[in-house]
Chains A and B, each alone.
Chain A
């Protein structure tokens, strides 16, 4: 493998690396360097310079987000790691924590120091039992080693870290719903503003970051911001990314590759090509909530800006590939059903709008739809996009937008034939 491995450097099949193994490959050097040589201010600056963008899906620049954080406000402040990872096609955080839990622990301690937060929570998907176990052990080891707890490395800085299991719904990944869940409340998203940085967990300043985002921090400290930016293949991009491959590929694994790796390379080289000798038809480039790419996009570099330019999103870089025998109406229906089921039920466009979309797609798939239904589907897309309370429904519109943009003909065929042309 030619790509430098930051997060996956210790990953070996069936193994989990703990403190000893982690230290052996340079673990906790970033932390020691940060506490020894850098002020919190300098760490924040370095993260800002690195142009690290959030790995949780929205791709918001981490340095900018941290810039809003009132790090000097007295009283409790929180750092929350989002490891809910419930989106279909996204499994990178689980892979990382199964292999190397200290990556996250170290990243969180440095981040906490940079933001001057005193308590951290790792909010973890209910099904990630092994990963939660790994984290608990890693936290105990780090505490033992003096990296966690009171007066870390003699710096006078205190930080404690807890693992909290999610109740297991997709909406808990939305950061404000997550905070409600963490407080033991119903996980409806919160009204913004106020943003978590102002009023987050228990009403206190809080930063929520993804596992992978936080695990990159120590590498930015040791390697420097410029080195980190240069890891990417695109000019605007920075760092590496965990790409989780799934769908109709010969090999569906998770790889750490540079940001900006072209889709074709991922499909051919790392996925081993489309399975059963079939052709590539479409893919979700970044999880279930991103609009489809088609064969015409195989040479697009997978990065935030380049994907936005072609009307899709980088999301979580969970690449799900569909072969040429896939009915895109059926695939979209399947995805919409997921979002409909996972809607928290708070706002109308999502709770009831997705029901309408699912019904329309199901009519199409069953061959009972008319051109009027086709129009209604467009109408739903126009009215659900940008009008929901949180980004869940917005995300659900990703595949629908892709379907209506690239596969109009398939929809028309369903209507004309009166059945699914793929059956």
Chain B
């Protein structure tokens, strides 16, 4: 832990930390381009120069490359280094078009910031500027190569970090080009990260093109709703429209990047057919407060008439923990039976194993990334949880090994070991049955230092996940913990499972019992999510008096009309649409006027007085 002095301030940093990161700890930002937390230092841009007065290397040095040393003395604002940094900016600006007014990056452009920070103002170079032809890279990313400052971050992200093969560096000298071999859609499932990682306006979000200035955008942190990993995202909205999603930073989960599904998969939020108004089959469209009153009175009435089983509350793995918890409170208040938290009982049961039995040995994606051997049982990473695939990629990059056992043809854009085997063999393998394959695997696992076992909840099921937990327990020793990473089906499967009683009742059998007169679905549509949706639909049809009131979160109109399951005999008799995951970002445009997130909706139903703390939380997250 060396202690060094930077600009007359002392700081102690971990062994091996660079001077640049040490300065960061003191709040001193040394200008830089090519260094990026997730990509590391490569010493290309030379902007991060500082003057080292004391240390094993003295003079003008690149702060991203030199490690902090005990007793080192560094100046960041001295004339020599400031002068040099101004030259670097001047060099980088030789070819840069002055097109900030029409550049989408404007306002959130590192080049703008560093140009100001570098003190460069008037261009002295009067020669010809270098120009490029741009490529059409498909519907998501626009390229404007003239703005490039050659920091190589894009290629390092796309090729090195994400394993993409159709994009890279071409050419040499001051004509290096960052793009594809020829025009065409970027193939990587992580291509959108080019937008975040490029410090200039070369790569911008095509879906956001010319829509807003950064400073006009209402941004807020959120969590991606598209798979179970829960990557941090930052949706940005303006003019009653979700305009873009960019990656948030959560070191324990996604790090700095997200997948394209998370970034570009939110078109439904703006979809004109997404329900924005409460409605009921009798009253037509209603204002939300009226709908809430209706829901309260009908549910109370039904319980009074038919007893506690007449109303069934169905929570969901898509809803937040708070909303599901509030649903439980409501059930107690109503005196009806306890809510169910998943329409799909097998998935729900798998989630319960993960939440309850495996909780002591769960691996975060961060831990997974630093593992030396990851064995994946029954999961297709790219399809089920893209950022898991990217975490596996980091394991391989650091010299670790990834083995995948899965009956399906698995594709990843890099080399890995895939063994195709039947579901039964898969379960046997997890169960530790003696086979040649099993012995080989055991041997590898025994030799690894930080093994992580990934289990697909869908293919392994609750029993398989139990077995996985036992396998991990057997492999765990004092000095070598073996962690598991169960892959669940929805963003909050884990939370929903935590709330469930140990023996959850099956939704279908409850409905078939005939006792349920009203089903309240919170952010879920069993017609889409239950495993035997046709049976469910039949049951739904045969019980016309049942009143179904749906408050469904990310209601997807397109899926509703195209999916066969959605051609339901009767739509839910009443719908109260909560806001989407981008609620906070949409707050400026109030969507719809007076809208609430599902968690505040349930609060309204049970007339719970907001504790100020929880209200603040909700404001921060959803913006109600």
Contact = CB atoms under 8 A, between A and B. Distances in A.
Interface in B77-119: 83-84, 87-88, 90-92, 94-95
B: interface residue count bin: 20 to 34
Interface string B22-56: 00000000000000000000111111010000000
Interface string B334-367: 0000000000000000000000000000000000
A356 B150 CA distance: 16
B172 A355 contact: no
A61 interface: no
Contacts of A346: 44, 152
Contact of B46 (A171, A191, A359, A387): A387
B171 interface: yes
A408 interface: no
A359 B125 contact: yes
A186 B169 contact: yes
A186 B177 CA distance: 13
Interface in B120-142: 124-127
B441 interface: no
A349 interface: yes
Contact of B173 (A186, A341, A356): A341
A383 B84 CA distance: 6
A37 B417 CA distance: 50
A121 interface: no
A355 B91 CA distance: 9
A: interface residue count bin: 20 to 34
Interface string A280-318: 000000000000000000000000000000000000000
B150 A345 contact: yes
B65 interface: yes
Given A344-B173, A345-B172, A387 B91 contact: no
B60 interface: yes
B46 A352 contact: no
B94 A389 contact: no
A136 interface: no
A264 B478 CA distance: 76
Contact of B65 (A191, A356, A362): A191
A347 interface: yes
Contacts of B175: 345
A226 interface: no
A355 B94 contact: yes
Interface string A369-411: 0000000100110010011110000000000000000000000
Contact of A191 (B43, B169, B171): B43
A160 interface: no
B127 to A, nearest CB: 4
A351 B174 contact: yes
Given A191-B43, A386-B60, A348 B173 contact: no
Contacts of B126: 359
B519 interface: no
Contacts of B169: 186, 345
A343 interface: yes
Nearest to A383: B87
Contacts of A386: 59-60
B60 A345 contact: no
A359 B90 CA distance: 14
Going nearest first, the 9 A-B pairs with the smallest beta carbon separation are A352-B91, A345-B176, A359-B127, A343-B173, A383-B87, A345-B172, A348-B46, A351-B174, A345-B173
Interface of B: 42-47, 49, 59-60, 65, 83-84, 87-88, 90-92, 94-95, 124-127, 150, 152, 169, 171-176
Given A345-B169, A356-B91, 20 more contacts: A191-B43, A191-B65, A340-B174, A341-B173, A346-B152, A347-B43, A347-B46, A349-B46, A349-B88, A351-B150, A351-B173, A352-B95, A353-B91, A356-B90, A356-B125, A359-B125, A386-B60, A387-B60, A387-B84, A389-B44
22 contacts: A341-B173, A342-B172, A342-B173, A345-B150, A345-B171, A347-B45, A347-B46, A348-B45, A348-B47, A348-B88, A349-B46, A352-B91, A353-B87, A353-B91, A355-B127, A355-B174, A359-B126, A359-B127, A379-B87, A383-B84, A387-B84, A388-B46
